[in-house]
Amino acid sequence: MRTLFTAAIVAVSLAACAAAPELEDDSGDVGQVGEALSNPCTLSRAAIRASTTSARARAIDRGFAWLDADVPYSQSRSRGGYRTDCSGFVSMVWQLDRSYTTASFVSGGGESHLLGSYSDLLPADGLVYRSGGSGHAVIFLGWNDAKHTSACVLEQASTASDMQFRTRTASSLRSAGFKAFRADSLRNDKGGSPAPADEDTAGTDEVIEDPVPPKTGSPMEGKACSSDGACNPGNDGSGLICSGGQCIPGCRASWQCPGVTRCVSGMCR
């Protein structure tokens, strides 16, 4: 009886996945378990950012902003103008003109292009597959080991698990048909110089504030909060952090800063 009940649940989930309109919504990575969804990434945010360029680091910061805010997976909702499913998340990280689908990405469209192989992947690139009217896409952060047997990724996973920072084995990605791809805006960004050290403050709690922090003009300033993500809703940072249960001017990382400003000595400049 338990086996029949479990089979019925799986059948309903897969049917719902297949029913999603191909050109409007992307289905999450439903049904892909085991080694495909493996261990936590051993790379810290600081190490990931330090391994790449400023442009790629800023893209990664945008991805971690959704993770910190625990943005729930949805094919019908949006945040900061981007759909909150897997391909909408990738579109947000790359700041594309709109939320594309895996159908666009896997064909080399959607303001992106396919790469020759996994060996071409750099932090802030992506991996995408499409099959039978559904698909999935993740942001690649780096290899979790020297032999490149598993990759650290950020992904808007599914309605069951939402935002995830974890590893996926290279063998499972290949067997599932994931293709490496890159934003056109990063076409000429081949790694180069790493992000400046003064931006590399993600994951720390230390904030060096000016004697009189400048007003940000954000409607969130002074609001009650429980996390930095609550003070920085949407796609762009507000220049605020959560301190003492209140949103105040400051930053711990550049994703919390608006526009082209970045986090320097605890403030957006």
By mean pLDDT, which of 5-19, 56-70, 167-181 is the weakest? 5-19
The answer to whether domain 24-184 has CATH 3.90.1720.10 is yes
CB 83 within 8 A of CB 75: yes
Q: Enter the tokens of residue 69.
A: 């805010």
- Give pLDDT tens digits for 207-262: 333 334 455 677 888 888 877 778 877 666 788 888 777 888 888 877 778 876 77
Half-sphere exposure of 90 (CA within 13 A, CB side): 34
Distance, in Å, from the CA atom of 135 to the CA atom of 256, rounded to the nearest integer, reads: 31
Mean residue pLDDT of the chain comes to: 79
Per-residue b/e over 25-59, b at no fewer than 16 CB within 10 Å?
bbbbbbebeeebbeeebebebbebbbbbbbbbbbb
Q: Give the residue-averaged pLDDT of 19-48.
A: 59
Report the residue count for the chain. Answer: 269
Q: Please indicate whether residue 69 or residue 203 has the higher confidence score (pLDDT).
A: 69
Q: Which residue, 86, 103, 76, is CA-closest to 30?
A: 86
Q: What is the pLDDT of residues 184-221, one digit of tens each?
A: 999 999 876 565 543 433 333 333 333 344 556 778 88
Handedness of CA 148, 101, 154, 62 (dihedral sign): positive
Q: What pTM did the predictor assign? A: 0.65
Please tell me the predicted confidence (pLDDT) of residue 45: 92
What integer pLDDT is reported at residue 234 of this predicted model? Answer: 67
What are the residue ranges spanned by the domains of the chain?
24-184, 196-269
pLDDT band at residue 95, thresholds of 50, 70 and 90? very high
Alpha carbon distance 231, 223 (integer Å): 8
Alpha-carbon separation of residue 63 from 112, 174, 209, 212 (angstroms): 17, 23, 25, 30
At 235 the pLDDT is 60
> Cα separation of 166 and 146, whole Å?
17
